Chains A and B, each alone.
Chain A
């Protein structure tokens, strides 16, 4: 009998990136297949293609051995593939039954037949073990219950393949337990489940088979009895480090940034403490959602910390706003370059001077001469490719835009520099220039703390790595202890030191 769903040699490219380079996947009836991989390995692209959100460039999809074409979400639903997003897609102002049948409402004389909607929703609620009335407002349900509504909705479309993206990421332990029970029931009913998760513990418990992706390719597959933590990590990581990273030993100075018992609004139950010394580059590693960006935002005063002390060069500085953080000697290259880093429509020189206008002012007036000196200096130092400093930054490439953001901060000579995904979406050449710049700054005694989802970058650039998992620090690795296995080990939530991998 042919497999329920078979995916053969799927490829997909985005401008500048080959996200999938021939990925294959098989799901049998009543089987839970876990798909794991590092950030950027291609999991979400694969899942979006399966759900019809994006179209593959090439490759084959077979359902019950029959080739199928997926051009839209509608197509995918029609043949029985449903995706449950990490962020739930429910209208919380509508009730449970209305959400389940959204867009497919039972009608009578052209009007919604509410009674039938409620009646027909009931069996699906029973199937997922959700004990609420069909007319309950979705907004009043807990997150775990809302997730069950999503699953009920998927079942109501006769889904035969259910793709779940990080389904437990916002669930409590008890809600997760309940979800696992529902998954067990679905499996018995013959539904095939693609389970995408960063949590290897869950994967080990649930999966009948694990498919591992790395850099847009299949790096291996593990059968039920072969699934263990070490084997999964080994398949997820392990590639050549290119010579992209100009790392040289740094002369460490005194403590530039001292953080004690910091609590952020996103993970209020956990405290973090750490320090960064002058001239040190510290990488903050972890999986998406581990709370790394939130730490940088708290340190920089964008979302002030709930508690804890922050010292810069021994001076207490617990900034309540970016202004205070800047005054204390901190700078942040934010995650979302286009929204938070630069003012797209403004000229290169105006962006470069934005943070130093206050310092260079003459009784409130712009110091135009200083501004143009500064911008030509920064364009030179940062090697920003632009026809003139009057060019709007929106017309520069991503790499050059990022150099403008960095240049803006170099102009105020920070003691502590935070970088959030410093090389996201920029090409290799510009990446290396940014790495060289980080090196140069560290040599000049700037303390650097950076967040990255790129394992290579973390391993290549850091003197020391702090690893986070769900809001807390699970490990700290010195440069000589650094390995992808070690970082992944802590990032997936294990706090004991990793065992050597055979």
Chain B
């Protein structure tokens, strides 16, 4: 909880700074845009959070975004498939990718890093192959569908600002994810096995099945993210669509309180972490006019955040151990 407040405080501080430093930042257009992008990145961040909770990693997210994001318009406009068939196919592919990752990791005991790293290369390469490396898009069609990503919902009595539609998708995904992680026995299983897979297995938990499920969730949400991203921008280039998105998602999850050691994670934290990264990017562009140093700043902020968290954790453990020792000495004397 303290961690969440800490990261939220940091987000507020960055926002305050931005509001004072840049007029453009507080424009309704910019805020709407930020919120829409936060929603899109939030969806894939929530997905990877499930994998991180198990102590694993999913590096293939950006490429799944690319595969689905290019695949959907390609199926619709190049292959002339019907909308339901195309949507069903991309969902099935996303779920299937997660299943394959999960099976390789739990059955063959391959390392998640290597399995999903290969996925990262594989899915982008495949996409560039079947699209002939050509930009694909919806053109003027599918306006209705695109509202899912570009639509806005006005708030009564508020002018100059409307809620972007993807935010609704994010809220639904986040609420379901939070309920799953915190209120169901399966969420508890994931948290337990992320801390100690042996202890969970010895307690009769089907650890393999749960890890598999986490990879399916991650790829499925990456697929959903891919659909939303491409609906948002209308067209996608296979060569760089979704590039580095896995790193944004992982960084957001870690900033939001997921430990890469496993067993820790908060859905709200992931959303705040996502927002923090996107606001930082936005601020760098608006304030410095040097968007090329964006990665340096984001990297430094995440590193600082993780270091602070680790030091705080050590301090707490030390203090508690000292207290326990003191209590024991008191008792025995």
How would residues 102 to 124 of chain B score, 1 for a CB under 8 Å from any chain A CB and 0 otherwise?
A: 00000000000000000000000
B77 CB-CB contact with A under 8 Å:
no
A274 CB-CB contact with B under 8 Å:
no
Segment of B186-194, B240-248, B249-257 in the binding face: B186-194
Q: How far is the CA of A332 from the CA of B201 in the complex (A)?
A: 11
Question: Interface residues of A, CB < 8 Å — how many?
Answer: 31
Q: A301-319: which have CB < 8 Å to B? A: 302
A408 contacts B185, C-beta separation under 8 Å: no
Q: A365-392: which have CB < 8 Å to B? A: 365-366
Selected contact of A366 from candidates B188, B201, B205, CB within 8 Å: B188
Selected contact of B200 from candidates A325, A343, A397, CB within 8 Å: A343
A326 contacts B199, C-beta separation under 8 Å: no
Selected contact of B263 from candidates A322, A326, A345, A358, CB within 8 Å: A345
B184 CB-CB contact with A under 8 Å:
yes
A334 CB-CB contact with B under 8 Å:
yes
* Most chain A C-beta atoms within 10 Å of own C-beta, residue among B185, B189, B196: B185
A342 contacts B184, C-beta separation under 8 Å: no
Q: Residues of A contacting B198 with CB < 8 Å?
A: 336, 339-340
Q: Residues of A contacting B188 with CB < 8 Å?
A: 350, 354, 357, 366
Nearest-CB distance from A450 to chain B (Å)? Answer: 16
B204 CB-CB contact with A under 8 Å:
yes
A395 contacts B320, C-beta separation under 8 Å: yes
Q: Residues of B contacting A325 with CB < 8 Å?
A: 204
A54 CB-CB contact with B under 8 Å:
no
Q: A388-419: which have CB < 8 Å to B? A: 395, 397, 408
In the complex formed, the residue of B with least CB distance to A325 is B204
In the complex formed, the residue of B with least CB distance to A336 is B198
Nearest-CB distance from A351 to chain B (Å)? Answer: 8
Q: Residues of A contacting B204 with CB < 8 Å?
A: 322-323, 325-327, 355, 358
A500 CB-CB contact with B under 8 Å:
no
B203 CB-CB contact with A under 8 Å:
yes
Q: B159-188: which have CB < 8 Å to A? A: 183-188
Question: Interface residues of B, CB < 8 Å — how many?
Answer: 25
- Contact A354 B203, CB 8 Å, known A345-B263, A364-B186, A365-B184: yes
B14 CB-CB contact with A under 8 Å:
no
B30 CB-CB contact with A under 8 Å:
no
A273 CB-CB contact with B under 8 Å:
no
B195 contacts A344, C-beta separation under 8 Å: yes
A408 contacts B203, C-beta separation under 8 Å: yes
Q: How far is the CA of A344 from the CA of B199 in the complex (A)?
A: 9
A346 contacts B195, C-beta separation under 8 Å: yes
Q: How far is the CA of A119 from the CA of B209 in the complex (A)?
A: 55
B326 CB-CB contact with A under 8 Å:
no
Q: How far is the CA of A325 from the CA of B196 in the complex (A)?
A: 20
A361 CB-CB contact with B under 8 Å:
yes
A321 CB-CB contact with B under 8 Å:
yes
In the complex formed, the residue of A with least CB distance to B321 is A395
A341 CB-CB contact with B under 8 Å:
yes
Selected contact of B185 from candidates A326, A345, A358, CB within 8 Å: A358
B195 contacts A364, C-beta separation under 8 Å: no
Selected contact of B205 from candidates A341, A344, A354, CB within 8 Å: A354
- Contact A364 B185, CB 8 Å, known A345-B263, A350-B192, A395-B320: yes
Q: Residues of B contacting A336 with CB < 8 Å?
A: 198
A340 contacts B195, C-beta separation under 8 Å: no
B185 contacts A361, C-beta separation under 8 Å: yes
Q: How far is the CA of A395 from the CA of B187 in the complex (A)?
A: 24
Q: Residues of B contacting A302 with CB < 8 Å?
A: 201-202
B324 CB-CB contact with A under 8 Å:
yes
Q: Residues of A contacting B206 with CB < 8 Å?
A: 321, 323
How would residues 297 to 322 of chain B score, 1 for a CB under 8 Å from any chain A CB and 0 otherwise?
A: 00000000000000000000000110
A354 contacts B183, C-beta separation under 8 Å: no
- Contact A341 B184, CB 8 Å, known A346-B191, A358-B204: no
In the complex formed, the residue of B with least CB distance to A326 is B204
A355 contacts B203, C-beta separation under 8 Å: yes
B185 contacts A366, C-beta separation under 8 Å: yes
A323 contacts B263, C-beta separation under 8 Å: no
Nearest-CB distance from B94 to chain A (Å)? Answer: 23
Q: How far is the CA of A374 from the CA of B331 in the complex (A)?
A: 28
Q: How far is the CA of A340 from the CA of B192 in the complex (A)?
A: 12
Residues of B within 8 A of A (CB): 183-189, 191-192, 195-196, 198-206, 263, 320-321, 324, 328
Given contacts A361-B185, A366-B184, A395-B321, 19 further A-B contacts (CB under 8 A): A323-B206, A334-B202, A340-B199, A341-B199, A342-B196, A343-B199, A344-B195, A350-B192, A354-B188, A354-B192, A357-B185, A357-B188, A357-B189, A358-B185, A364-B184, A366-B187, A366-B188, A395-B320, A397-B328
**29 A-B residue pairs with CB within 8 Å:** A302-B202, A322-B203, A323-B205, A323-B206, A332-B202, A336-B198, A339-B196, A339-B198, A339-B199, A340-B199, A340-B202, A341-B199, A341-B202, A343-B200, A344-B195, A345-B263, A346-B191, A346-B192, A346-B195, A354-B200, A355-B203, A357-B185, A358-B185, A361-B184, A364-B184, A364-B186, A365-B183, A366-B183, A397-B328
4 tightest Cβ-Cβ pairs between the two chains A and B:
A326-B204, A357-B185, A354-B203, A343-B195
